[in-house]
Structure 1
């Protein structure tokens, strides 16, 4: 399964943007992101009523970049605000990338990296409505 995402926060950058109605707006200066972070346009997560969050593994991408990747898994969070993992190469996160990504989320959210099948199953439920 391939999906398209918009990068809002570039890997290694402290500048966090939000994508709203086709435009980027700077919303915060934070600790540098360990991954390219953004959203899947038009696909709503019922846990927060916002577009599904996504991570693109690989080198830094500029904010506003639209990129397509293979679903490689997801970061499952106890609050339901799961993050889809995408990658161009189709290898999934390295153990180091997975550790950095999990450490980015507060432990109270109980983050877990799940595989491609769990991610696809969750996405298919969202797509069916």
Structure 2
């Protein structure tokens, strides 16, 4: 399975959120609720559902904003609107962090977890559709 490089934009348990733009992090806003997981993106990818880089989440201990991680996807958080999130994890994709992530999304978004193969297939599909 292919490894992907991601950058953390929002640290688990924190309210201060950043955004990756033009190869650097910029402050975005202070959220009403803290992040349930480490949240970020996969630079150089494009999710047509929102026109932004593919969202990524890292389960586990808080990671500082700007942390760069490389690895194979562990799962895919599938949403009805197509704005899926690629899940990375050191161990099994389960437990309180995963439940917190699922609870973060309102029921109408239809958040479900699919396996690592579904995540890789979705990323491969996006890469193949991207021009250039």
Q: TM-score, normalised by structure 2?
A: 0.90
Equivalent residue for 1:100?
A: 100
Structure 1 segments (4+ residues) deviating >6 Å: none
CA RMSD in angstroms, aligned pairs only? 1.2
Matched, 1:44 2:43: no
Q: Distance in 1 between matches of 2:70 and 2:124?
A: 18
Decide which structure has greater strand share: 1
Question: Where in structure 1 are there 5+ consecutive unaligned residues?
Answer: none
| Preserved CA contact (<8 Å) 1:17 1:28 | yes
Equivalent residue for 1:63?
A: 65
Equivalent residue for 1:28?
A: 29
| Preserved CA contact (<8 Å) 2:59 2:98 | no
Structure 1 residue matching 2:72: 3-state secondary structure: strand
Q: TM-score, normalised by structure 1?
A: 0.92
The correspondence of residues 9-20 of structure 1 with structure 2, limited to 5 A, is: 9-20=10-21
The correspondence of residues 84-99 of structure 1 with structure 2, limited to 5 A, is: 84-87=86-89, 89=90, 91-99=91-99
| Preserved CA contact (<8 Å) 1:2 1:68 | yes
Structure 1 residue matching 2:121: 3-state secondary structure: helix
* Superposed CA offset, 1:22-50 (max 9, x none): 22222121111111100000110111111
Question: Where in structure 2 are there 5+ consecutive unaligned residues?
Answer: none
Deviation at 1:2, TM superposition (A): 1.7
